[in-house]
Amino acid sequence: MGDNVLEIRNLIKTFPGVTAVNDVSFDIRRNTVHCLVGENGAGKSTLIKILTGAEQRSYGTIRLNGDDYVAHNPKDARDKGISTLFQELNVVDQLTVAENLTLGMEVTTFGFLRNVGTEKMIDVLKNLEPSIDPRRKVSTLSVAKKQIVEIAKAVASESEIIIMDEPTAAISEGEIQRLFKIIRGLRDKSVTVIYISHRLDEIFELGDAVTVMRDGRHIDTRPVSDIRDRSELIRMMIGKTVFEKYEPKENPSTETILKVEDVSNDKLCNVSFELRKGEIIGFYGLVGAGKTELARAIYGVDRYDGSITFKEKTLESSPHKAIEAGIALVPEERRSEGLFTILTIRGNTCVMNMDKISRSGFVNNQSEKRVTAEYIRQLNIATHTMEKETAKLSGGNQQKIVFSKCLFADADLLLLDEPTRGIDVGAKSEIYQIIRDLAHDGKSIIIFSSELHEIVNICDTIYLLYEGVLKERIENGTVIDSEKILHTVTGGE
Amino acid sequence: MKARNAVGTVAVNAEPGYLDPYRNRWIAIVKASYIYIVFLLIVLVFSVVKLDQVRFFGRGHFLSPVSIVNLLRSSVPIITLAGSFTLLMISEHIDLSVGSAMSLSAVIYALLVRSGVSFLPAFLITMVLGVLCGYVNGALVMKLRITPVIATLVTLNVFKGIALLIVPNRISAIKSTDTIKMPLWINDYARKAVFLRLPAAFYVAIAVVVVLVIVQRKTILGKYTAAMGGNRTAAELSGINTVRIGWILYIIVGVSAAMAGIARASYMSLGDPLSGDGMELDCIIAVLLGGTNFYGGEGSVEKSVIGALIIVCVTVGLMTVVPPFWQMVARGSVLIFAVTLNYLLAKD
């Protein structure tokens, strides 16, 4: 057997309109902790999905121990020796720890369970974490311990590679240290770990080697010891992205439209900021930093302590009141939360403000058509008819329809949660232009995004979020140090 | 890192067992035994209430040997069904067609007996019919992936339709007519005392329950049922063929429904195409009363049987004190009670 447990060559994965993984080749050495880093959309998760069998590659080869490797589904991958610790854990809460460990590998006589083989599994678990009682029900364990049960199961079923997708996202500091100890111990058990995390410190603490990806491409793979510090890693992650030029507003308004004071809930911690009329502000942070939660709090979906004042009135905590007051949310999950995908463009455009086109309960079809045609023209929606089902449109055009919905609702404040996710480059710049035009027309806009260049590109003021806390406020127009920003949002002090 | 901890506290607290062991133990005890207490209370209430005017079946006290025998004899169908229905619900599925499958079986069994087939062949043929009903449900739900409620709602009507078609026009059930007589022995299975004044059907039902308890606790089918209902993805990742497990469970429920139908036909000496109506609701109530998680994963066969007895006691007990139509309302109330209890218990 060679030194490499996994060899990836010329891997390509294309989705309609997007190349998620673009000619990626690298090796993973046996019995190491191999980290995979990159910004959101860099192609990490697609790569992992191909390894676990959730997606099929478009082109390229993967060799596991020198043999060609293809997985048709996660079960298949597991049988071939690649187990995955998904973020949504795959343990059965209602069974005991021991039952979970042996699940699918029971020894039986005429269908009756026998207590053979359980010992070996339990020994593996005891070895990893003696404090877990195998007779306990899994539902009584913490997230971290459930992860350990899953790791034990993977080790016991002789997996060669365990992929861990942000395993520290939902567990506490003490538990993270315990988990790291276990991960380090796996090297001695002939297990290779592919470790994905947004927390760069963890890479230096845990990793043997690191692969950096950016925009679907493989940037570099090298031993962690060869990387000098965080900033070098960050430079590899963001590369020399050329930002479109940000142009400051000529005469900014001084009228404050939104005032958020000390907003806290279980995901947010004392968030305060102000927004002026016609201003675009952006919240940048990684997944789980609290961006969506902040948007939901302002929109009144989630409860919070503290106060939010909009147009000099305290905002009540309910989406209905928010819409009435003139706030609209463009949600992150466009297909499931932003659109009625089975309805046509016409059916979607006016839906947030039907009163405006109806009289005593009857919808005026003529005005509905007029309004829809007007937005199709204004936002340049590419369609030949307004009767097209929105499900059949491209991501960019769908997003424009969500925008027109909000505009028709007479919103003065637009909350945009990841406004360009899953949208191709050309449509992205169109969306940016729409956002700029809206601000020019006096709409105030808050963008929540995990794409730095997007924030730097269009926002007048940038706020950095990490773990629900506002870390920094940056006025755009000055020199933006993107390395420093990434340092902050990955937990650096 | 301070902020990190503020966020992290949620995860740390997620280990309820360590927080307050005493409170947890009490909850566990209540969870494990409340059904027996409820059962005893109900029996106690009905036996204490003086039934001066309307006596139970006109024969005396609620707890008199005669009424106990009557009560157990009439509860044979629900006891037969409760166990397999529990397993099905543990796997996070449901079968609304049990009542219709039971009616259809009763009609077929009565028809066979009336046309001169002897007990054992008639019994076995009806069982095969039960397998068929379960197979169809399993195919619709597991193979074609139709939502259980919809699939079995359809088969509920199909089975019922077939049962009604078999019974000739203007006759309400398969029974003795001027030309063909129903043999008198049809009654023996569900009425004739074989041991402790109770009929064979009762002991068969108990045997079914015992077998299912063993299946749940000791066999791989029982474990996979729980795994599948608890987390289907995890079960499939562990190599469990969930389609097959679910299919087997539907067939077991179908067979139980056939046995329940035979018992009912035998008890009434006729094949009534509506005799199983409402059985699905009784099964759901029994299973939920028995503490089985509505969303699958955990439950207990024997407790569902106690739940079934509770329903029978409430129905029969109320029969002695309130007009018949109120029984429906009472049954509905018991269901609401069961669902609420289920929800509260699941919440910890």
pLDDT reported for residue A26 = 92
Tokens of B141: 């739900």
Asked if A94 has any chain B CB less than 8 Å from its own CB, the reply is yes
Lowest mean pLDDT among A157-161, A206-210, B62-66, B243-247: B62-66
DSSP reduced 3-state for A322: helix
Task: Give strand ranges (E) for A318-370.
Answer: 327-330, 358-359, 362-363
Is residue A455 predicted with pLDDT exceeding 60?
yes
- pLDDT value of position B347: 65
Task: Identify which of A295-299, A339-343, A356-360 has the greatest average pLDDT.
Answer: A295-299
Under an 8 A CB cutoff, do B6 and A92 touch?
A: no
- Sign of the CA dihedral with A252 first, then A257, A258, and A259 last: positive
By Cβ distance, the residue of B10, B16, B237 closest to A266 is B10
In the three-class reduction of DSSP (H, G, I as helix; E, B as strand; rest coil), residue B128 is classed as helix
Element (H, E) at B131: helix B119-138
Out of A4-13, A320-329, A360-369, give the one with best mean pLDDT.
A4-13
Average pLDDT score over residue span A450-470: 86
* Model pLDDT, residue B320: 66
Comparing CB atoms, the residue among A111, A144, A466 nearest residue B219 is A111
pLDDT for res A217 = 87
Q: What confidence category does residue B8 fall into, taking pLDDT thresholds of 50, 70 and 90?
A: very low
Which residue in B327, B290, B291 sits closest to B310, CA to CA? B290
Q: What is the pLDDT of residue B177?
A: 81
CA distance B137 to B251: 8
- Find the closest chain A residue to B237 by CA distance: A75
Q: What is the pLDDT of residue A245?
A: 65
Contacts with A238 (C-beta within 8 Å, 6 or more apart), sequence order: A39, A214, A452, A482, A483, A486
Q: What is the sign, positive or negative, of the torsion defined by CA atoms of B288, B293, B297, B301? A: negative
At A14, the pLDDT band (50, 70, 90 cuts) reads: confident
- Across the range A146-160, mean pLDDT stands at 87
- Assign A424 a pLDDT band (cuts: 50, 70, 90): low
- % of chain B exceeding 90 in pLDDT: 47
Mark yes or no for CB contact A93/B230 under 8 Å: yes
Collapsing DSSP states into helix, strand and coil, what is residue A207?
Answer: coil
Please report the DSSP string for B281-347 in residue order. HHHHHHHHHTT--TTSS---HHHHHHHHHHHHHHHHHHHTTS-HHHHHHHHHHHHHHHHHHHHHHHH
Candidates A74, A113, A171; nearest CB to B237: A74
Out of B15, B220, B235, the one facing A141 most closely (by C-beta) is B15
Identify the residue with better confidence: A175 or B51: A175
What is the average pLDDT across A402-422?
86
Interface test with B, best of A103, A168, A493 (most B CBs within 10 A): A103
Instruction: Identify the residue with better confidence: B144 or A176.
Output: B144
Q: By mean pLDDT, which of A5-14, A330-339, A364-373, B307-316 is the weakest? A: A330-339
Mean pLDDT of A441-459: 86
What is the pLDDT at residue A485? 81
pTM tops 0.80, yes or no: no
CA distances, B190 to each of B136, B193, B203, B264, B305 (Å):
28, 8, 10, 8, 18
Phi, psi of A379 (to 5 degrees): -95, 5
Structure confidence at residue B58 (pLDDT): 45
Taking residues B71-92, what's their average pLDDT?
Answer: 93
For B27, the 3-state DSSP assignment is: helix
Beta carbons of A104 and B230 less than 8 Å apart: no
Domain that holds residue B255: 2-347
Position B14 pLDDT exceeds 60: no
CA–CA dist A472, A453 (Å, integer): 17
Residue A115 has pLDDT above 80, yes or no: no
Taking residue B21's Cβ as centre, other Cβ atoms within 10 Å add up to 10
pLDDT on residue B295: 86
Mean pLDDT for all residues in chain B:
84
Question: What contacts A487, CB < 8 A, 6 or more positions away?
Answer: A230, A231, A234
Pick from A85, A92, A101, A175 the residue to mutate for testing the B interface (most B CBs within 10 Å).
Answer: A92
How far is B307 from chain A, CA to nearest CA, in Å? 21
pLDDT at A157: 81
> What are the DSSP E strand ranges found in B119-231?
193-195, 198-199
- Among chain B residues, the shortest Cα distance to A53 is held by B237
The 3-state DSSP composition of chain A as helix, strand, coil percent (nearest 5) reads 35, 30, 35
CATH of the domain at B314: 1.10.3470
Q: Does the beta-carbon distance from A104 to B6 stay under 8 Å?
A: no
Contact: B3, A468; criterion CB under 8 Å: yes
Rounded to two decimals, the ipTM of the complex is 0.74
Q: How high is the pLDDT of residue A163? A: 92
Phi, then psi, of A278 in degrees rounded to 5 = 75, 10
Looking at residue A425, its pLDDT comes to: 63
Stretch among A99-108, A167-176, A305-314 having the lowest mean pLDDT:
A167-176
Answer whether residue B16 shows pLDDT above 60.
no
Residue B238: the pLDDT is 83
State the pLDDT at residue A426: 65
Task: Say if the Cβ atoms of B226 and A141 lie within 8 Å.
Answer: no
Helix pair B2-12, A173-186: axis angle to 10 deg: 80
Percent of chain A with pLDDT over 90: 12
Closest CA in chain B for residue A175: B12
Can you give the pLDDT at residue B22? 61
Tokens 């018992």 sit at which residue? B263
Pairing, β A107-109 against β A82-85: unpaired
pLDDT at res. A319: 85
> A202 pLDDT exceeds 60?
yes
Residue of B nearest to A269 (CA): B3
Q: CB contact, 8 Å: A175 with chain B?
A: yes
> Which residue did the predictor score with more confidence, B324 or A292?
A292
CA–CA–CA angle A110, A113, A118 (5° rounding): 140
pLDDT category at A161 given cuts 50, 70, 90 is very high
pLDDT, mean of residues A300-311 = 88
Q: Which comes out higher in pLDDT, residue A486 or A443?
A: A443
User: Residue B57: what pLDDT?
Assistant: 45
Lowest mean pLDDT among A98-112, A413-427, B44-58, B182-196: B44-58
- The model's pLDDT over A217-245, given as tens digits with 9 standing for 90+, comes to 898 899 988 888 777 887 788 775 555 56
- CA–CA distance from A493 to each of A254, B6, B32 (Å)? 33, 17, 51
Closest-CA distance, B230 to chain A, in angstroms, reads 5
Q: What local confidence, expressed as pLDDT, does residue A453 receive?
A: 77
**Average pLDDT estimate for A448-470:** 86
Tell me the chain A residues in contact with residue B298 when contact means C-beta distances shorter than 8 Å: 94
Distance CA B123, CA B120 (A): 5
Q: Quote the percentage of chain B above a pLDDT of 70.
A: 86
- Number of inter-chain CB pairs under 8 A, A vs B: 105
With beta carbons less than 8 A apart as the criterion, state whether A16 and A37 touch: no
The pairing of strands A256-265 and A305-310 is antiparallel
Q: What is the mean pLDDT of chain A?
A: 84
Interchain pair A104, B235: CB under 8 A = yes
User: How many structural domains compose chain B?
Assistant: 1
- Judged by a CB distance cut-off of 8 A, whether residue A109 touches chain B is no
How far apart (Å, rounded) are the C-alpha atoms in residues B245 and B213?
A: 17
Q: Which residue of B has its CA nearest to A168?
A: B8
Alpha-carbon radius of gyration of chain B: 22
Question: CA of A234 to nearest chain B CA: how many angstroms apart?
Answer: 20
Q: What is the mean pLDDT of residues A141-168?
A: 87
pLDDT confidence tier of residue A41, bands split at 50, 70 and 90: low
- A142 near B CB under 8 A: yes
A127 Cβ under 8 Å from any chain B Cβ: no
Highest-scoring range by mean pLDDT, A107-121, A144-158, A390-404: A144-158
> For tokens 């919103």, what's the residue?
A411
pLDDT of residue A40: 66
Q: Which residue of A has its CA nearest to B234?
A: A90
**Among the ranges given (A288-302, B17-31, B152-166, B214-228), the one the predictor scored with the smallest mean pLDDT:** B17-31
Among A185-189, A285-289, B202-206, the range of highest mean pLDDT: B202-206
What A353-356 contacts at long range (C-beta under 8 Å, 24+ apart), as own/partner pairs, is A353/A408, A353/A409, A353/A410, A356/A408, A356/A410
Q: Does residue A156 sit at the B interface (CB-CB below 8 Å)?
A: no
